[in-house]
A = this chain, B = another copy of it.
């Protein structure tokens, strides 16, 4: 039988990241592909104790259907944490929606906001699975010119005037995939323009707490706004564990309320046993200490990767050293197409994500995203060497060919 799918799934393809993950996960390939935290660093004992506390309370209601908006004490804890860690003070626990990972926050926001043809402005490159979501709602994605400090205000204003976008999607702190951090000026410019042109900003901040230099301060857009124009989403996946699929979003009550109704239709509510356990984890476990130890390990892995790449001395290879997060974004000689080279790299024992699918506009095919959090420094060295082998062989071949 031929199944007549809806038009909106035309664009729906399995994400390159996850398809690679599937194949790579099975063999002995060193993978810099997935956006994975390190399993070994998960707070297993803390999580186990958190669940024990919930079970010890012995209440059947812990396992019952629950409110769509989320477990109230967890929402209060989230508000408190955002206040203390991020300076985000505009929201009360009524303006938090707990989501099935922050991926669902992106999806629900798009569901209530984006009709076919509606314009959304994004950085370029940007988070691949967000592009997937926007495409699935048949939105019109327009890339805004950016540099290492964030979107260029002139181009942003031009495109706000020209396209009358519904929203702007940004990952301003340790972006995925580019590892960028927006400057304060650029952040303020975005907020100013959002107010001027009445555009909602969607701030995706999964990595913000994985900050390598303790002295710098990266103020979230949500802390620069007055509570009317920014939706801010984050997650427990990077600072605690991904398996529990628990994220959250805060923003103007009207939007959160609409998203909550969409969530009711989507999955009724987020796993509430996990929400209760995460509340226990935040309350009875040194989550901040845990995050500090993550940062210290991840920073040293990032340094190891940077060292290897620098030693490799590959012509035309460039990257910006990440100030946090999980990714290193590499630009190569324009003669190299990373999508084509992936197969050869995997055969040589190393995987990455080609840069192409991260672009909303014209893709730079000579780019790749490398994850540095999931491998030990030893494996990083081995993997980067294997990668550099493939790259330099191909640059030479190409040179040869072009001569």
Contact = CB atoms under 8 A, between A and B. Distances in A.
A291 interface: no
Given A6-B137, A65-B243, A271 B274 contact: yes
A112 B2 CA distance: 14
Contact of A271 (B44, B62, B243): B243
Contact of A262 (B9, B39, B47, B252): B9
Interface string A27-66: 0000000111111111010011001000100111111111
A149 interface: no
A335 interface: no
A271 B276 CA distance: 14
A162 interface: no
Given A129-B265, A267-B267, A115 B63 contact: no
A166 interface: yes
A346 interface: no
Nearest to A227: B1
A200 interface: yes
B68 A107 contact: no
A13 interface: yes
A6 B252 contact: no
A14 B65 contact: no
A104 B254 contact: no
B18 A36 contact: no
A113 interface: yes
Interface residues of A, number: 86
A39 B61 contact: yes
Given A6-B112, A12-B262, A115-B7, A63 B243 contact: yes
Contacts of A267: 99-101, 103-104, 107, 245, 267
Contacts of A75: none
A18 B274 CA distance: 21
A254 B12 CA distance: 13
Contacts of A103: 265-268
Tell which of A48, A63, A115 has the most Cβ of chain B within 10 Å: A63
A245 to B, nearest CB: 5
Nearest to A255: B3
A5 to B, nearest CB: 5
Contacts of A260: 14
24 contacts: A3-B200, A3-B255, A5-B112, A5-B113, A5-B258, A6-B115, A8-B115, A34-B65, A35-B65, A38-B60, A39-B64, A40-B60, A44-B58, A44-B60, A51-B55, A63-B241, A64-B241, A64-B243, A100-B267, A101-B267, A103-B266, A111-B136, A133-B265, A243-B273
Q: Which 10 A-B pairs have the closest CB atoms?
A: A39-B60, A63-B241, A100-B267, A6-B115, A63-B243, A104-B267, A48-B55, A243-B272, A243-B273, A65-B242
